[in-house]
Amino acid sequence: MFNLPKIDLHRHLEGSLRLSTLSEIAYQHGVDLPTWKPEELRPYVQVVDDTPDFLGFLAKFKLLRRFYSSREAVMRVAYEAVADAAADNIYYLELRFNPVALALNQGFSFEDVTDWVIEATHQAQTDHTIQVRLIIQINRHEPQYVGQMAEIAIAKQDKGIVALDLAGDEQNYADVTPFMKAFQLARSEGLHVTIHAAEAGPPFNAKEAVEKLGAERIGHGVQIIHDLGVMDLFRRQQITLEVCPTSNLQTGIISKLKRHPLFALHQLGIPVTINTDDPSVSNITLTDEFLVATRGIGMPLHVLPHIILNAARAAFLPEPEKQRLISWFDKALAGWQIFESEHSKI
């Protein structure tokens, strides 16, 4: 499974920080924390024995905002996020990040932290066999920044920023109206749009994300399984779902892996992909997520290449680049013969 070439379309930079790096940054910069020791720090920044809870999962990120203490710290975590993806045989990564989260606590400018992430990820691509594109993410509870985020994304498209994303507390901030103007501007300037929706909220939220914000992909979107009309819309328009199984379990969005709709949605003709969401917070890799999909959810092994090609087809790339990506993965996956005996070797 590790040797399978993979794509991750839904990975948050702020959820991809190495525990050892967090400990070092905290010690070097005197970050105000209950502890600086890695193992003692773990339960504050990583899901360990937490009761599954959506808002509890999001709360981890409030503490993580304290770690972006310098230009070097931001660049280090961005570089390592890409390096860790490459080490997991991910050949194409769309890494999303929130400039507000990286900048606000320390008083950095949003433009500066964006440039630092761009510089670090460019260097990581040079050093590792991986292609990376960046997505600027905005939190639902911080609509006051959406205009600035859209302007930054538009201005830096030539440096690898390809899309805007809306994420965060869908339960208490479901209304997307405050974001419509900025997202419409972004789309008119050539940016793509992906929206976290129908994760902790109803299927209608995913439909609204498509109709009001122009979403081409939906982050998570697992709740659409409860609405035939929304599922039909996604099937007809071939709107891709960025599914993150372990995250869905840890947030309590699904109660058991056997009840996860990933495979059912695939069978219904809706393009689904498998992603990590927050690999350090969840303590997983994308290889782990593919194992979860097969062993926990029950997706047959022979379906995995189709899922990866779904991701290639949904990549936020110009059409010629996308076709090259699809062609590369098509050839690479054609040589990946899956047998039941191989499952026992994983």
- The set of catalytic residues is 199
The span from the CA of 26 to the CA of 50, in Å, is 23
The span from the CA of 209 to the CA of 300, in Å, is 31
Q: At what angle do helices 146-155 and 110-127 cross, to 10 degrees?
A: 40
The span from the CA of 58 to the CA of 54, in Å, is 6
| Phi and psi torsions of 217, nearest 5° | -135, 155
Element of type H or E holding 114: helix 110-127
In this structure, the strands spanning 131-139 and 161-167 are parallel
First to last CA, the chain: 6
* Closest to 161 in 3D by CA, of 139, 138, 135, 183: 135
* Closest to 199 in 3D by CA, of 250, 253, 163: 253
How buried is 51 (Cβ within 10 angstroms: 0-12 exposed, 13-18 middle, 19+ buried)?
exposed
CB 273 within 8 A of CB 7: yes
